């Protein structure tokens, strides 16, 4: 907080508004009293200049390419931590002691099973249903199964539902995949890690023992860490907005999944990989660069640009390194990766991309790794949803725990007709 004031002159009258200071990052002009004092609203449709909440979870400095979870840089977490530890950190604010981490992992592991009746939900989907369609439906349906954890005013209920969501998401996502390929669902196995369990439920079959590849398990875990939270992005804001009405967390997370599905958000890695395959070989890159620069062509370089990062997305750097590790471990050579590297190089040296500060984002390389591991493109966003669930529930918990929390209810700049009388059919 500070004594600084912002002055706003509306029709000749000057109003003072407090300027709030976070622990780091831009100052925030507190305009909560603006409407009451002046009758005016602010107008910021894409929220480009709006801080929608106060939060202590995740910090991004888009100009510098910095991403911190509870203060810890994403690169350090990706290098040294595990998804379980990052989940604990996001939910509880501090890195765990060994016993705390063991207890947390044990609890999550013991919540991974789905109620057996939920299996029948899957049968209701067409077998070619997109996994995200299944995820939206099944996660929303959890509200009907776990009544004992939907009293959001009870911190214990909130904790249990958060654990359930984090724990059940790998089972839900793996079964969405199994359903699409017509293979039997595998039940979770408690002696495996969170990520190992997910890989086995996805790629294992009952007829034989699934062999976990340590490099793949580690890469997958790292991908989960990279997607765990990302401040007030569109899907997180959706979860918060849905939650602000008092809706239960399963319904709120289903809303987040729906938002994440869009190609401008979580759907971008699928779109990026499809684009790289369409480009095919490095000699065709200039043609696509020209298309991306052409105002009359709707084509954009998918996996490039970000609302907040106006510098290299720190997650993209880790992702690029992880591609190499997975390729080396699996002895894979994929021309798509060569095309991606060449495209990055050409775009980063192109004035259009430099001037607009368009850099590769996390989605540029993630599709290449996921594809090498064996996931079809339709599963990419489902994996993102799985990992982001921890951020969604941590943000939702933070919001609900705030005693001053109110329903999110934006206003508008109305440009429709002014009042007019209803006309009967014969007079129109």
Q: Residue 159 or residue 293: which is nearer to ligand ACO going by CB?
A: 293
Distance, CA of 338 to CA of 349 (rounded, Å):
17
User: Which residues have CB under 8 Å from 340's CB, separation 6+?
Assistant: 276, 364, 365, 368
Residues 145-164 that bind ligand ACO (CB under 6 A): none
Q: Out of 221, 229, 313, 363, which one is annotated catalytic?
A: 363
Among 130, 159, 307, 321, binds ligand ACO (CB under 6 A): 307
What is the number of the residue whose Cβ is closest to ligand ACO? 305
- Alpha carbon 13 to its chain's center: 43
Q: Out of 69, 265, 306, 313, which one is annotated catalytic?
A: 306
Shortest Å, Cβ 219 to ligand ACO: 18
Shortest Å, Cβ 316 to ligand ACO: 9
Stretch 236-265: interaction string toward ligand ACO, x if CB under 6 A: ----------------------------xx
Dig out the tokens for 126 from the structure: 């067409």
Distance, CA of 332 to CA of 339 (rounded, Å):
15
The position carrying tokens 């052409």 is 294
Q: Which stretch binds ligand ACO (CB under 6 A): 37-45, 155-163, 216-224, 355-363?
A: 355-363
Distance, CA of 16 to CA of 106 (rounded, Å):
52
Among 195, 361, 371, 389, binds ligand ACO (CB under 6 A): 361
Q: Which stretch binds ligand ACO (CB under 6 A): 142-150, 303-311, 317-325, 327-335?
A: 303-311
Q: What is residue 5's three-state secondary structure?
A: strand
Does residue 306 carry a catalytic annotation?
yes
Q: What is residue 154's three-state secondary structure?
A: coil
Q: Binding to ligand ACO by residue 287, rule CB under 6 A?
A: no
Q: Binding to ligand ACO by residue 365, rule CB under 6 A?
A: no
Of the CA atoms within 13 Å of residue 352, those in its CB half-sphere come to 14
Q: Binding to ligand ACO by residue 388, rule CB under 6 A?
A: no
Q: Is residue 274 a contact partner of residue 377, using CB atoms and an 8 Å limit?
A: yes
Q: Binding to ligand ACO by residue 343, rule CB under 6 A?
A: no
Distance, CA of 332 to CA of 302 (rounded, Å):
24
Count of residues in contact with ligand ACO, rule CB under 6 A:
17
Does residue 111 carry a catalytic annotation?
no
Q: Binding to ligand ACO by residue 300, rule CB under 6 A?
A: yes
Q: Residue 223 or residue 247: which is nearer to ligand ACO going by CB?
A: 223
Distance, CA of 369 to CA of 325 (rounded, Å):
10
Distance, CA of 250 to CA of 150 (rounded, Å):
8
Among 18, 131, 243, 305, binds ligand ACO (CB under 6 A): 305
Q: What is residue 113's three-state secondary structure?
A: coil
Residues 170-199 that bind ligand ACO (CB under 6 A): none
User: Which residues have CB under 8 Å from 295's CB, separation 6+?
Assistant: none
Q: Residue 8 or residue 75: which is nearer to ligand ACO going by CB?
A: 75
Angle formed by the axes of helices 380-401 and 214-226, to 10°?
Answer: 50
Active site residue ranges: 306, 363
Residues that bind ligand ACO (CB under 6 A): 264-265, 268, 292, 300-307, 356, 358, 361-363
């Amino acid at each position: 907080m500070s004594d600084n004031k912002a002055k706003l002159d509306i029709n000749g009258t000057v109003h003072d508004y407090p300027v709030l200071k976070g622990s780091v990052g831009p100052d925030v002009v507190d305009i909560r009293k603006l409407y009451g004092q002046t009758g005016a609203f602010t107008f910021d449709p894409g929220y480009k200049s709006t801080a929608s909440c106060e939060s202590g979870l995740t910090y991004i400095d888009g100009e510098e390419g910095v991403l911190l979870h509870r203060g810890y840089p994403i690169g350090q977490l990706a290098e040294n931590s595990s998804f379980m530890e990052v989940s604990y950190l996001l939910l509880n604010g501090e890195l765990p002691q060994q016993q705390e981490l063991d207890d947390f992992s044990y609890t999550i592991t013991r919540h991974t099973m789905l109620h057996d009746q939920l299996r029948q939900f899957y049968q209701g989907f067409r077998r070619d249903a997109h996994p995200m369609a299944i995820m939206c439906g099944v996660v929303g349906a959890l509200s009907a199964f776990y009544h004992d954890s939907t009293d959001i005013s009870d911190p214990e209920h909130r904790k249990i539902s958060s654990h359930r969501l984090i724990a059940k998401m790998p089972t839900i996502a793996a079964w969405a995949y199994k359903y699409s390929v017509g293979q039997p669902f595998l039940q979770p196995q408690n002696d495996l890690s969170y990520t190992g369990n997910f890989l086995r439920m996805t790629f294992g079959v009952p007829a034989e023992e699934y062999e976990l590849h340590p490099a793949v398990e580690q890469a997958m875990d790292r991908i989960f860490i990279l997607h765990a939270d990302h401040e007030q992005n569109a899907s997180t804001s959706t979860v918060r907005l849905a939650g602000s009405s008092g809706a239960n967390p399963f319904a709120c997370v289903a809303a987040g999944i729906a938002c994440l599905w869009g190609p401008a958000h979580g759907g971008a890695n699928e779109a990026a990989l499809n684009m790289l395959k369409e480009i095919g070989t490095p000699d065709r890159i200039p043609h696509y660069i020209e298309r991306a620069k052409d105002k009359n062509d709707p084509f954009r370089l998918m996996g490039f640009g970000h609302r907040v990062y106006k510098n290299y997305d720190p997650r993209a750097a880790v992702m690029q390194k992880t591609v190499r590790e997975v390729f080396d471990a699996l002895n894979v050579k994929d021309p798509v990766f060569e095309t991606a590297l060449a495209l990055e190089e050409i775009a980063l040296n192109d004035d259009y991309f430099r001037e607009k500060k368009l850099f590769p984002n996390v989605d540029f390389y993630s599709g290449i790794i996921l594809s090498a591991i064996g996931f079809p493109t339709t599963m990419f966003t489902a994996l993102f949803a799985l990992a982001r669930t921890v951020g969604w529930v941590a943000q939702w918990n933070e919001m609900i725990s705030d005693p001053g929390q109110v329903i999110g209810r934006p206003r508008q700049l109305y440009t429709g007709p002014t009042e007019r009388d209803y006309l009967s059919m014969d007079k129109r």
